[in-house]
Amino acid sequence: MFYQPGITAHGLPHDPFKSCVVPRPIGWISTRSVQGVDNLAPYSQFTNVSFDPAMVMFSSNQTTDGRRKDTVTNAEQTGVFIWNMATWGLREQVNVSAEELPPWEDEFIRTGLLKSPGVIVAASRVAASPVQFECEYMQTVRLPGNGPMGTVDVVFGRVVGVHIADSALTEGGKVDVLKLRPLARMGYFEYTSVESSFEMVIPGSSKLLAGLEGSALKNSGSVADGAMLP
Ligand SMILES: Cc1cc2nc3c(=O)[nH]c(=O)nc-3n(C[C@H](O)[C@H](O)[C@H](O)COP(=O)(O)O)c2cc1C
């Protein structure tokens, strides 16, 4: 089959587009409004954009009535946000945190999730989440789209603090992804979680491997104290 989005019909009972870009890690983003209300919402249009320095992005559509979402407003107005890893064990809370609530309603209270304070940024972390990135807001790229929801605010942030629970690490010091089972979005109303992994190494260039591995130390030497070369 072939179709041109927005021009020709796909002819299927459900729009296949989102189901073609899978799985998408979930940016479970916590922010605080300038009024001091904590906010939490999942954004599956999320990824890291670089590793040295560490940067992430999430992409927000508009609300069902065409307004900017609270997460974007808060990040832009306060200059910070936090990414929390969404896991299989937290899936119900992830789902509840997606409700379209007014900005004065605290979604931590709504979901029953406990808060941990940010160490560097003024926002709350999901205490039960095994990994969190504290981020400084960098910029928003606004792309026009079809109303009411299609317009998109792509928000970029620099990661200035990384929290990893000790229990989330293997004895060898790697993030134990298979134990954490990070949650990911697929298309329609479908999700998956990471339940298997395998390794592959690019043949040839060892320099390229620093990027594949995501090692800031091997790339530029710009790391914190205590970093060890294997
Ligand atoms: C798993 C999941 C992923 C989502 N991903 C996105 C996304 O990438 N972009 C978006 O605009 N909304 C996404 N949503 C919907 C938002 O979470 C929802 O609009 C939420 O109410 C926004 O809250 P806020 O206004 O507090 O930021 C997602 C919802 C779920 C359940």
Q: Which residue ranges make up each domain of the chain?
A: 21-197, 201-230
Ligand 1 centroid to Cα of residue 41, in Å, is: 6
For the domain bounded by 21-197, which CATH number is listed? 2.30.110.10
Going from the C-alpha of 16 to that of each of 13, 25, 86, 146, 183, the distances in angstroms are 9, 18, 24, 18, 20
Handedness of CA 140, 77, 31, 62 (dihedral sign): negative
Ligand 1 centroid to Cα of residue 155, in Å, is: 13
| Atom 23, ligand 1: residue with shortest CA distance | 41
Q: What is the pLDDT along the chain (230 residues), one digit of tens a residue?
A: 999 999 999 999 999 999 999 999 999 999 999 999 999 999 999 999 999 999 999 999 999 999 999 999 999 999 999 999 999 999 999 999 999 999 999 999 999 999 999 999 999 999 999 999 999 999 999 999 999 999 999 999 999 999 999 999 999 999 999 999 999 999 999 999 999 999 998 887 777 888 888 888 888 886 654 455 54
Which atom of ligand 1 lies closest to the CA of 99? 21
| Phi, then psi, of 35 in degrees rounded to 5 | -80, -5
SS3 110: helix
Residue 168's pLDDT is what?
98
Ligand 1 centroid to Cα of residue 211, in Å, is: 30
Which atom of ligand 1 lies closest to the CA of 107? 26
Residue 225's pLDDT is what?
46
Pocket test for ligand 1, best of 18, 26, 40, 43 (most atoms within 8 A of CB): 43
Residue 206's pLDDT is what?
75
For residue 204, how many C-alpha atoms fall within 13 Å in the half-sphere facing its CB?
3
| Atom 16, ligand 1: residue with shortest CA distance | 98
Residue 228's pLDDT is what?
56
Q: CB 83: neighbour CB atoms within 10 A?
A: 27
C-alpha 87/C-alpha 183 separation (Å) is 5
Residue 215's pLDDT is what?
87
C-alpha 223/C-alpha 20 separation (Å) is 36
Q: Taking a C-beta distance cutoff of 8 angstroms, is the pair 24, 43 a contact?
A: no
SS3 181: coil
